[in-house]
Amino acid sequence: MEISTRAFCILLVLVLNAVKITLSVEDGLLYLDYYKETCPLAEEIVSRNVEIAVLKDPRMAASLLRLHFHDCFVMGCDASVLLDNYVDIISEKQAGPNLNSLRGFKVIDEIKYILEEACPLTVSCADILAMVARDAVALRGGPSWKVWLGRKDSLKASFDGANQFIPAPNSSLETLIANFNQQGLDVEDLVALSGSHTLGKARCLSFRQRVYDINVEEKHDKYRRYRTFRRILRSICPESGRDEAIAPLDFVTPAKFDNQYYINILEGNGLLGSDNVLVNEDHAGEIKKLVWAFASNQELFFRSFARSVVKMGNINVLTGVDGEIRKNCRFVNP
């Protein structure tokens, strides 16, 4: 019996979809539309609740994106960052880079509660973090991207890993490159993902060294072109005290996801030391070219950011029989 080309193509798609569903469980891979059959409204539920959270608190967009980043850099994208202290688990929330800094946990709790009502023990907390990062960026005018899903949640946390692998705000360029390489990310990923600092705020504790380091000032500001910016930062952040005072990472368009971050650091107006090393270090040639490219072309930045955040979202994921689907993102299942 002959079969038309169109009918053959339809049959082939159906077969590939069936294979895809099988592979996602057995071979530990992530796939698009992972919850299409098991929880078809999952992405809509996440998106709607992220929108509500960001409308209530615009700063929450940056906080949700940051949760995904801090999760993936410690043991992989497994929602370990969401675990509270319990029995032998020491929460990553208590680690230096996260303590009194990470936000958005209640938003994740609310989303998880609704998803558990709709589809019990189906959508992982790790996948929720990946989806909220995408939706938060899009809501602030940034790019959107397809989120690959099927992650499982970790059964443990790594307090030491959070202290070791999350980049510090005063990291040198060499440290940043090594840190990202350890996660399988290259210099383009480093520069693109640093662009997430177009949103959000940082504590005085994170940028004080950058503001009062006289050696840096003399080396990179010999023409004193940036005195006004430094004076503003010093008024917010004195040499001692007021550690929790905050300043926007991007003073120009603080609530918009755009390429202004790169323009800022080229002008010497990056808030964090780890921002400015992308252009200030003597050996930052290739990296500085990328900064110039993203500063000149927002669409190029958006494409690179979306590609890099998807790549980051695949770091050491747990799938198949590894990990679990937590009922409560703060605790492993009984």
- Spatial distance between the Cα atoms of 162 and 74, rounded to a whole number of angstroms: 6
Task: Name 3's Cβ contacts closer than 8 Å, sequence gap at least 6.
Answer: 11
Position 226 scores a pLDDT of 60
Position 15 scores a pLDDT of 44
pLDDT tens sequence across 21-66: 333 333 458 999 999 999 999 999 999 999 999 999 999 999 999 9
pLDDT category of residue 227 using cuts at 50, 70 and 90? confident
Ligand-binding annotation for 167, yes or no, is yes
Ligand-binding annotation for 250, yes or no, is yes
pLDDT category of residue 9 using cuts at 50, 70 and 90? very low
- Spatial distance between the Cα atoms of 21 and 12, rounded to a whole number of angstroms: 14
Please identify every residue annotated as catalytic. 70
Contact 272, 169 (CB under 8 A): yes
* Token pair listed for 281: 């270090």
Domain spans in the chain, listed from the N-terminal domain onward: 27-166, 173-311
CATH: 1.10.760.10, 3.30.230.10, 3.90.660.10, 1.10.420.10. Which one for 173-311? 1.10.420.10
pLDDT above 60: residue 87? yes
Range list of β-strands (E), the chain: 201-203, 246-248
Ligand-binding annotation for 220, yes or no, is no
CA angle in degrees (0–180, nearest 5) for 285-249-244: 130
The DSSP result for 78-113, as a single string, is SSGGGPPPBTTBPPGGGSTTTTTT---HHHHHHHHH
Ligand-binding annotation for 33, yes or no, is no
Cα pseudo-dihedral 180, 182, 187, 193, rounded to 10: -30
Q: Whole-prediction pTM value? A: 0.88
Fold held by 27-166: Peroxidase; domain 1 (1.10.520)
pLDDT tens sequence across 124-138: 999 999 999 999 999
pLDDT tens sequence across 169-220: 999 999 999 999 999 999 999 999 999 999 999 999 899 888 887 665 545 5
Query: Looking at residues 282-297, what average pLDDT do you find?
Result: 90
The DSSP output letter for 196 is G
Ligand-binding annotation for 281, yes or no, is no
